[in-house]
Amino acid sequence: MSKDKDHPLITLARTGDTAAYAKLVEKYQHMVFTLALKLVGRSEDAQEVAQDAFLKAYQALNSFKGESKFSTWLYKITYHKGLDLLKKRKRTVATDSIDEGFNINIPSLENTWDALEKKEQSETIKKAVDELQAADAIVITLFYFEELSLNEIAVVLSLTPNAVKVKVFRARKRLAHVLRSKLEPEIIEGYEAYN
């Protein structure tokens, strides 16, 4: 097993210690719910997906090998439970085709974000992410808010790291477009003049 910080709790939970598993649930419940909500779009459905994911993870805990972090494994289960629900509702997540070898750099939004106060920045970004399609919101959430690596996101989404890199690029581009509509023109002009 990897040097996952959750290893002691996982070991206890595997022996039937429900209090140890409850600590894991408490630690990850917000992110699991957030990921589910980004995917399925409705709070009630997200709660169902989160409950199903935690139940599935508990039942499959002995199969967790530790090749990735526990959180990555749990997010992958959540993602697939969300897809199952969407299939059940006969709705699919919009995804883009991925062009192999696609490699374009876009300017970072850090300078623009530095112009906003911390609280306003956070609220603006969260509202902008909420306006993205589910697939983009999930990638942005995992990469920037959960700070998962491209490899970890690839595990969650069952993609290659290169495909994830392209998805992050495209999601960032769409996020930048949404942010442009929310930011004051002076900030945008300053950002564009700098870049």
Taking only the tens place, the pLDDT of each residue in 25-40 is 999 999 999 988 888 8
Q: pLDDT by residue (tens digit) across 49-81? A: 999 999 999 999 988 888 888 988 999 999 889
Residue 139's SS3 state is: helix
Q: Could you please state the CATH topology (level 3) that the domain comprising 110-194 is classified under.
A: Arc Repressor Mutant, subunit A (1.10.10)
Write down the pTM of the prediction.
0.61
Q: pLDDT by residue (tens digit) across 146-178? A: 888 888 888 888 889 899 999 999 988 888 888
Rounded CA gap, 25 and 73, in Å? Answer: 13
Q: What is the pLDDT of residue 3?
A: 53
Dihedral sign (CA 86, 92, 94, 96) = positive
CATH level 2 (architecture), domain 7-88: Orthogonal Bundle (1.10)
Q: What are the structural domain ranges in the chain?
A: 7-88, 110-194
Rounded CA gap, 163 and 170, in Å? Answer: 11
